Amino acid sequence: MTATKTIRQQLEATVRAALARAFPEQEELRLELSRPREKAFGDFATNAAMVAGKKLGLNPMDAARKIVEEIEVPSPLIASVDIKKPGFINIEVARSAYLEKLREIATFPDDTRYGMAPTGRGKKVQVEFVSANPTGPLNVVSARAAAVGDALVRLLRRTGYDVRSEFYINDSGTQVELLGESLKARFRQALGEKCEIPEGGYPGEYLTEAAEEIVPEKMLQSLAQALESPAGGTDDAAERERAAGFLPALEDEREHIDRFLEDTIAANPDERRNKRTYFDDYFAFREALEPEHVSLWMPLYVCHLSSLGLTFTGDMLDRLVWIERFRSYLRAQRVEGITVEDGGMMSAGRVFLGELVEGVGFDFSRFAVAEIVRTQQASLERFYGPVETLRAKLGVAPGEGLRFDSWFRESSLKHDVDEMLRTLLSDGRFVVEKEGAVWLKGGDEEDANEWVMRRSTGQPTYFLSDIAYHVNKRKRGFEQVIDIWGPDHHGHVGRMQTAMKVVSHVLPDLEIGEDWLRVLIAQQVNLIKDGSRVQMSKRSGEYVTLDDMVSEVGADVARFFFLMRRCNSHLDFDVDLAMKTSEENPVYYVQYAHARISSILEFARQNGYREIPPPLADLALLAAEEELEVIRTLAGFDELVRVSALALEPHRITTYLVDLAGKFHRFYHNHRVVTDDRALSDARLYLCFAVRSILRSALSLIGISAPDSM
């Protein structure tokens, strides 16, 4: 598969060559090639004569005549050339050039790669987006960033960049500590205690669910029941079986733990040894016990926590001590006559769990972050396709949602952060120390701002850590970094740009150029429901999540809506409209065109058209205005992809899709495709096929499904 030049590129080369021949002494000019709105002015117009005329002090009309003399007309590319009033050169593209593009589209082997271009030249680019704080489910702005970022990644990939997507997890700092405190409160509540969510914490319901993960209710029940029989075991066969079934098979557990060891702690050999020892001990312990000893539950429980990637302050012996303590604790409770019936055993178990979790130094923040990141990942993976209720009807398989190439943890940057600060301090040119804190200042006079990097408490700020993070990106070899941030970060853009400029002076070897970092702001989304805005606030715990959107309007509609607007403009998303009038939706309009073509092609196949697209179709028969409109639009697609990627504006693809679908519907309405006229039918089937290819190509660029029937 090779990429050919777009028609615009071909024309530009031709005009430049003509210009160079007409005015050999003139160096390269910044000439423009635009598409006139008015059809009478041709397909393209160039201001070459006006620009050149001005430079050389010539009348633009005369310059235009000189240039036009040097353009070969007619040629396979250009049908005719015309000079208009101030000095425009209007170019009519030859039909052969359009038909050539049409052929290229229809014969291109892979629709999901059509439009590929060498523009990026394998440049190593990172797109970082969503990067929501791990303090709750993904909200609407995250959904928007996800749609835009994913489309951008696909767009850049299509145009020859070596792109990696990244999600940055802010898993350290005050907010995360607060999150841990909040989870701890929920945990206490789950144990039956009265406990308030701390001031400024996170009252959302999702933490209750996470807390219940820590205290699996059924484990407690099972445990309490088992302890009703003498010596913590049971003679009842059914009960024994149930108890045994409560544990995973030994081999399964081993496999699970091995995988855990590989994934989570491979990076740190010391940690690995500790864990390995712990698990070996655990297995030894476990194998020594009879299956019906349900008190085995406790090591299982400890293991369960470990498998979630949590660290413990104690070692295995400590845990065994705890387990022993638990047994005697429960026995003691038994002696005092506590039974399952009065709920005493349950609460005894709860109290003990509370103590255990405190005793092993359970890290609530880490657990909460791990838990939330997991749900965020799951949400993103579901971010594809039509709404669930239509999925079967539209015949779309659950496709791959959004997967990031990497998830980067802020907590892994500790070393980089320290080093960054040391480097800046020893350089000295851009730092100020005052009021016990360390500040960064811009280099030049016009940027007199100063920002704290290290607090007087000695703690680094988010700003410093973000500088270190971006330097880390550069060190990983990215030649260009694109960040998509939420609206609350837009004040951060300026100082980050300043910081990168500073870094380029302090660490010149990194070669951080002026536009190495490009930041897009995914602006605010106002959800309109029942005609009024839905208020969103993390603090109140009430907001519309990505999951809500996917289940209510579907990922296709959500993505399309987000990509219909430039990402830096505010957006009113009318949820009622998106659902209520879903039949009038632009998404369905576009998808309908796709399904319609599939249906036509199927109809043709059943009526004796064996090969589609018909290889011998005479495309010159496509001469109706509606057909030419469609062809011109198709022929412009590769150029659109190129320009959208350069401008980092994926929303242009959706605009294009609506336009193309409209032109196709118009064509369809005025011309029957399959008729008695075999030659004409062949040509029109060819056209239909090409339209479908481009629809697929464009839809795949923005991550939206292309159903064959609806």
Partner RNA sequence: GCGCCCGUAGCUCAGCUGGAUAGAGCGAUGGCCUCCGGAGCCAUAGGCCGUGGGUUCGAAUCCCGCCGGGCGUACCA
* Residues numbered 411-470 forming contacts with RNA, rule: CB under 7 A: 435-437, 452, 455-457, 459, 461-463
**Should residue 406 be labelled a site residue for RNA when binding is judged by CB under 7 A?**
no
> Cβ of residue 602: shortest distance to RNA, in angstroms?
7
The residue range among 34-42, 190-198, 317-325, 540-548 that interacts with RNA, by the rule CB under 7 A, is 34-42
Draw the binding track, 171-190, toward RNA (x: CB under 7 A; -: no contact).
Answer: -xxxx---------------
In the bound state with RNA, the residue whose beta carbon lies nearer, of 266 and 647, is 647
In the bound state with RNA, the residue whose beta carbon lies nearer, of 14 and 222, is 14
> Cβ of residue 148: shortest distance to RNA, in angstroms?
11
The residue range among 33-41, 115-123, 220-228, 319-327 that interacts with RNA, by the rule CB under 7 A, is 33-41
Q: How many helices (H) and strands (E) does the chain have?
A: 27, 15
**Should residue 584 be labelled a site residue for RNA when binding is judged by CB under 7 A?**
yes
Number of neighbouring beta carbons within 10 Å of residue 704: 28
Of residues 95, 164, 492, 559, which one binds RNA by CB under 7 A?
492
DSSP class per residue in 438-456:
EEEE-SSTT---EEEEE-T
Cβ(587)–Cβ(704) under 8 Å? yes
**Should residue 610 be labelled a site residue for RNA when binding is judged by CB under 7 A?**
no
- Binding residues for RNA restricted to 191-230, rule: CB under 7 A: none
Of residues 325, 334, 441, 489, which one binds RNA by CB under 7 A?
489
Separation between Cα atoms, residue 469 and residue 472, nearest integer Å: 5
> Cβ of residue 118: shortest distance to RNA, in angstroms?
19
First to last CA, the chain: 32
> Cβ of residue 523: shortest distance to RNA, in angstroms?
6
The residue range among 122-130, 157-165, 327-335, 660-668 that interacts with RNA, by the rule CB under 7 A, is 660-668
**Should residue 515 be labelled a site residue for RNA when binding is judged by CB under 7 A?**
no
In the bound state with RNA, the residue whose beta carbon lies nearer, of 351 and 658, is 658
SS3 55: helix
Helix-helix angle 297-307:316-335, to 10 degrees: 140
- Binding residues for RNA restricted to 261-300, rule: CB under 7 A: none
**Should residue 710 be labelled a site residue for RNA when binding is judged by CB under 7 A?**
yes
> Cβ of residue 670: shortest distance to RNA, in angstroms?
7
DSSP class per residue in 210-254:
HHHHHS-HHHHHHHHHHTTSGGG----HHHHHHHHHHSPPHHHHH
Nearest to 662 by CA among 601, 597, 593, 595: 593
**Should residue 678 be labelled a site residue for RNA when binding is judged by CB under 7 A?**
no
Draw the binding track, 527-546, toward RNA (x: CB under 7 A; -: no contact).
Answer: --------------------
In the bound state with RNA, the residue whose beta carbon lies nearer, of 350 and 495, is 495
The residue range among 143-151, 376-384, 424-432, 662-670 that interacts with RNA, by the rule CB under 7 A, is 662-670
> Cβ of residue 438: shortest distance to RNA, in angstroms?
9
Draw the binding track, 75-104, toward RNA (x: CB under 7 A; -: no contact).
Answer: ---------xxx-x-x--------------
Nearest to 703 by CA among 109, 80, 251, 146: 146
**Should residue 696 be labelled a site residue for RNA when binding is judged by CB under 7 A?**
no
Q: Which helix (H) or strand (E) holds 96?
A: helix 95-107
Q: Tally the C-alpha atoms within 13 A of residue 149's C-alpha that lie toward its C-beta.
A: 35
Helix-helix angle 651-670:140-158, to 10 degrees: 80
Of residues 193, 672, 678, 679, which one binds RNA by CB under 7 A?
672
The residue range among 268-276, 369-377, 532-540, 657-665 that interacts with RNA, by the rule CB under 7 A, is 657-665
Output helix, strand, coil percentages for the chain, rounded to the nearest 5. Answer: 55, 10, 35
Nearest to 310 by CA among 197, 418, 183, 204: 183
> Cβ of residue 162: shortest distance to RNA, in angstroms?
21
Of residues 61, 582, 632, 696, which one binds RNA by CB under 7 A?
582
- Binding residues for RNA restricted to 615-654, rule: CB under 7 A: 636, 640, 643, 646-647, 649, 651-652
> Cβ of residue 574: shortest distance to RNA, in angstroms?
7
> Cβ of residue 38: shortest distance to RNA, in angstroms?
5
Q: Tell me 82's DSSP state.
A: E
- Binding residues for RNA restricted to 113-172, rule: CB under 7 A: 133, 170, 172
Draw the binding track, 551-580, toward RNA (x: CB under 7 A; -: no contact).
Answer: -------------xxx-xxxxx----x---
Draw the binding track, 51-80, toward RNA (x: CB under 7 A; -: no contact).
Answer: x--x--------------------------
Of residues 123, 272, 665, 696, which one binds RNA by CB under 7 A?
665
- Binding residues for RNA restricted to 370-399, rule: CB under 7 A: 390, 393-394
Of residues 34, 313, 406, 540, which one binds RNA by CB under 7 A?
34
Cβ(300)–Cβ(291) under 8 Å? no
Compute CA 353 distance to the chain's CA centroid, rounded to the nearest angstrom.
Answer: 39
In the bound state with RNA, the residue whose beta carbon lies nearer, of 312 and 408, is 408
Residue with tokens 């000079």: 83
In the bound state with RNA, the residue whose beta carbon lies nearer, of 19 and 224, is 19
In the bound state with RNA, the residue whose beta carbon lies nearer, of 322 and 463, is 463
> Cβ of residue 658: shortest distance to RNA, in angstroms?
5
DSSP class per residue in 607-633:
TT--SSS-TT--GGG--SHHHHHHHHH
Separation between Cα atoms, residue 554 and residue 387, nearest integer Å: 4
Nearest to 180 by CA among 214, 148, 147, 146: 214
Separation between Cα atoms, residue 682 and residue 622, nearest integer Å: 10
Q: Which helix (H) or strand (E) holds 365?
A: helix 364-381
The burial of 546, by beta-carbon neighbours within 10 Å (0-12 exposed, 13-18 middle, 19 or more buried), is given as buried
Nearest to 34 by CA among 664, 645, 649, 639: 639
Separation between Cα atoms, residue 333 and residue 339, nearest integer Å: 9
